[in-house]
Each structure stands twice: as C-alpha cells, then as structure tokens.
C-alpha cells in the first residue's frame, strides 16, 4: 500500500492509515476479496467500517502507473485535478455515506476543478478511472 500526500502537513510515522480485512489468504487479491476497510488519520479512527470497499488499483510497475496531480490538499474551497487523459472521477466520503461521480473530460495537462464548498469537512476518496487504468488519492476537505 502506498500513502501519498500533496500537502505540506507533517504526518506521524508508524501510525495506522487503513485497516483492511480480506476474505481470502492469497498473495493475489481482487476487489471481491476485500471484506472491510476502516480509515485512520494520524492513527485516529476517522470513519466507521466502509459499507462497500473501495479499491484503488495501481500497477506494480512504475512505468505503467497513472500520473495525476491533485491540489491543494487539504482544501477548503476547490480541488484541482490534472490527469493525462479522459476520466470518470468519483468522490466518496470516508464513511461511504456520500458518493458523487463526475463525467470529466480530462485532456492531457488540463486542470479539472471540483468545488468543495458544499461538501462537509472530512476525508474523501478521489478515484479516477481512465484508459483501462485506475488510480486514487485521499483528499481532506476542511471548512474552518
């Protein structure tokens, strides 16, 4: 598992970020093999068990990895996404209660913006499906 942050926040090391339970014990797992997921922020529980597991599939080879940029993170008003191709963008709240899908035509190196003013503060999964590849990133929305 990889944790990526585009913010300048300092994150404590050796803290839980996610707990995943699988239905099978195998070196190769698929989406249907996930039993449950619980997310943490700096070791503190920040959601209940997700009703449907969210899997962000990434390649095992660095060259095949989908390169996206998501900023600012954390955000309070809008989040910008730069991706290499057309994509379907889905944003899911960390507790799984809210899901929003955007049909986004992301051209190479063009900025796609999502207004976050109407979303409650919290952690969200931002998933991008494009060119038969998927990638995802956690974003934090803060309304102080």
State the pTM of this model.
0.54
Separation of alpha carbons 54 and 74, rounded Å: 21
Query: How confident is the prediction along the chain (144 residues), in pLDDT tens digits per residue?
Result: 555 555 555 555 666 666 666 666 655 655 565 555 566 655 666 554 444 444 444 444 443 566 788 999 899 999 999 888 788 888 888 877 778 887 666 777 788 899 999 888 888 988 888 777 778 888 999 987
Separation of alpha carbons 79 and 105, rounded Å: 16
Look at residue 135 in the predicted model and tell me its pLDDT. Answer: 82
Separation of alpha carbons 19 and 93, rounded Å: 16
| CATH numbers and ranges of domains, the chain | 18-141 (2.60.40)
Are 137 and 69 contacting, i.e. CB atoms less than 8 angstroms apart?
no
Look at residue 80 in the predicted model and tell me its pLDDT. Answer: 92
């Amino acid at each position: 598992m990889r944790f990526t942050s585009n913010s300048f926040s300092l994150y404590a090391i050796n803290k839980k970020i996610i707990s995943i339970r699988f239905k099978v014990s195998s070196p190769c797992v698929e989406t249907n093999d996930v039993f449950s997921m619980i997310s943490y922020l700096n070791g503190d529980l920040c959601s209940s068990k997700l009703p449907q597991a969210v899997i962000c599939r990434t390649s095992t080879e660095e060259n095949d990895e989908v390169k996206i940029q998501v900023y600012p993170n954390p955000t309070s008003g809008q989040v910008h996404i730069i991706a290499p191709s057309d994509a379907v963008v889905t944003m899911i709240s960390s507790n799984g209660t809210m899901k929003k899908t955007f049909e986004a035509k992301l051209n190479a190196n063009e900025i796609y913006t999502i207004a976050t003013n109407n979303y409650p503060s919290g952690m969200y999964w931002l998933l991008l499906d494009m060119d038969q590849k998927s990638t995802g990133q956690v974003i934090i929305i803060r309304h102080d």
